Amino acid sequence: MRVLVAMSGGVDSSVAAARAVADGHEVVGATMKLWGGESDSGCCSVADADDARRVAAQIGISHHVFNFSDDFDAQVVAPYIAEHALGRTPNPCIECNRHLKFDRFLVRARSLGFDAVATGHHARVVEEGGCFRLRRGRDAAKDQSYVLSMLGQAQLAHCLFPVGVLTKDDVRSEARRLGLRTAAKPDSLGTCFLPSAQSRRELFARRAALHPATVQDADGTPVGRVDALELVTVGQRRGICVLATGGKRRYVTAVDAVRRTVTLGGRDDLLVGELELTDLTWVAAAVDPGTPVLAQQSAHGVPVPAVLTTRTHDAGGKSATVRFDQPVVRAAPGQTVALYDARDPDVLCGAGIAR
């Protein structure tokens, strides 16, 4: 099989490429240049591309660089800023996977005659009776199935995740055994194109207007101000300057971009019994209303028992409600909820939080 490996310059994709070679595939490596306009200090740096190129040489495969920076800007960065301007909090990693890694990159691979793409994600694909299942990676602490929950059959049929059966320690041990230069390279953290809080503020300031907003209590009583509503997100605790609150921790419970208000409350004010979901993307067939599921609201969040119910009946079946067995702290609108089979580690679907 001809396999194009997405090599980021990290240890996971390095070992993924080496494993694809060891499995007897005809392998080529490619690094996606996604960012580097205003800053080259986030993802896709020259150093990362150089690490990928050198690892490719070590394992005896050719290496290429694909410049998808325009697509990344249009499909990930611009929507990220636009959503924050509306008081929502999108997940750029999921949108990058949706539009770049498993769309633009996969389409390029197929047009070049490759049968599949491989990445360093900690997840697994299993075929059962012609149906492709997306499962959690073996290493629970590094599992990345959440950020792949938007994948469907068309993508999974052409995806390989060679390190999904390994723990992170196994990956590094294998990299050391092979003498790969990325064996001890630290994992990347945070939003790849925003390496710091300051760079986030600078990016927003360059591309969109930042608006001050009133900080208020749940009853509407003003208690402070923020200088940039677009940089505030539901669930946030730090960085909100307010009047003395008697030592009680306060959290952002709502961001209203129209009225330019930020509402604060206690942790209990973030608890919800259900979430309205939109844009459901099923890995395989949709499950019936009333099906028990496990719902996960963030990449490293704890999956909690819930039941999927249908409240709205749009033509595409893209809206639903997930009702939790016990109240949970909700994520911000715009974030993704991944639903898992309650009986096994299969991902059922990914969906956005409507409210």
Measure CA 66 to chain center. Answer: 21
Q: Can you tell me whether residue 184 is helix, strand or coil? A: coil
135: left (phi over 0), alpha (psi -120 to 50) or beta: beta
Report CA Rg, the chain.
21
Q: Which residue has the tokens 């723990």?
A: 167
pLDDT digits 0-9 by tens, 133-151: 999 999 999 999 999 999 9
- Which pLDDT belongs to residue 52? 97
pLDDT in tens, 53-107: 999 999 999 999 999 999 999 999 999 999 999 999 999 999 999 999 999 999 9
| More reliable by pLDDT, 278 or 199 | 278
Any residues with CB less than 8 A from the CB of 140 and at least 6 apart, and which? none
Cα separation of 284 and 159, whole Å?
15
Strands (E), the chain: 2-6, 26-33, 63-67, 116-118, 123-128, 131-136, 159-160, 213-216, 222-226, 251-256, 261-265, 271-282, 291-296, 304-309, 320-329, 336-341, 347-353
Tens of pLDDT, residues 228-242: 999 999 999 887 766
How far is the CA of 13 from the CAs of 57, 69, 187, 188, in angstroms? 14, 20, 11, 12
Question: In the chain, what is the greatest distance between 2 CA atoms, to the nearest angstrom?
Answer: 66
Catalytic residues: 96, 192
- For domain 2-178, the question of CATH label 3.40.50.620 is answered with yes
Whether 310 contacts 289, CB under 8 Å: yes
Q: What is the rounded distance in angstroms from the CA atom of residue 113 to the CA atom of residue 123?
A: 25
Q: Which residue do the tokens 């089979």 mark?
A: 341
Q: Which residues contact 122 (CB under 8 A, 6 or more apart)?
A: 12, 137, 138, 139, 142, 143, 144, 145, 161, 163, 164, 166, 168
Helix axes 197-207, 78-85, angle to 10 degrees: 90
Please list the residues that pair with 64 across neighbouring strands: 30
Q: Which residues pair with 127 in a beta bridge?
A: 132
Rounded mean pLDDT, 297-317: 79
pTM of the predicted structure, to 2 decimals: 0.92
Whether the pLDDT of residue 37 is over 70: the answer is no
Residue 199 has pLDDT above 80, yes or no: no
Q: Which residues is 66 bridged to in the sheet?
A: 32
Q: Is the pLDDT of residue 39 over 50?
A: no
- Tens of pLDDT along 3-14? 999 999 999 999
Q: Give the lowest-confidence range in 25-39, 153-167, 249-263.
A: 25-39
Could you tell me the sign of the dihedral formed by the alpha carbons of 188, 194, 198, 200, in that order? negative
3.40.50.300, 2.40.30.10, 1.10.540.10, 1.10.730.10: which CATH number matches 271-353?
Answer: 2.40.30.10
Fold of 209-265: SH3 type barrels. (2.30.30)
Other beta carbons within 10 angstroms of residue 258's beta carbon come to: 7
Task: Return the pLDDT at 47.
Answer: 87
Contacts of residue 257, defined as CB under 8 A and 6 or more positions apart, other chains included, come to: 85, 86, 87, 229, 230
Residues contacting residue 130 through CB under 8 Å, at least 6 positions apart: none
What pLDDT does residue 194 have? 77
What number is the average pLDDT over the span 178-205? 84
At residue 189, does pLDDT exceed 60? Answer: yes
In which residue ranges of the chain is CATH 2.30.30.280 found?
209-265
**What is the chain's mean pLDDT, rounded?**
91
Q: Where exactly does CATH 2.40.30.10 map onto the chain? A: 271-353
* pLDDT tens per residue across span 92-127: 999 999 999 999 999 999 999 999 999 999 999 999
Q: Where in the chain is the domain with CATH 3.40.50.620?
A: 2-178
pLDDT for residue 205: 87
Q: Taking Cα atoms as reference points, which of 211, 237, 236, 235 lies closest to residue 225? A: 211
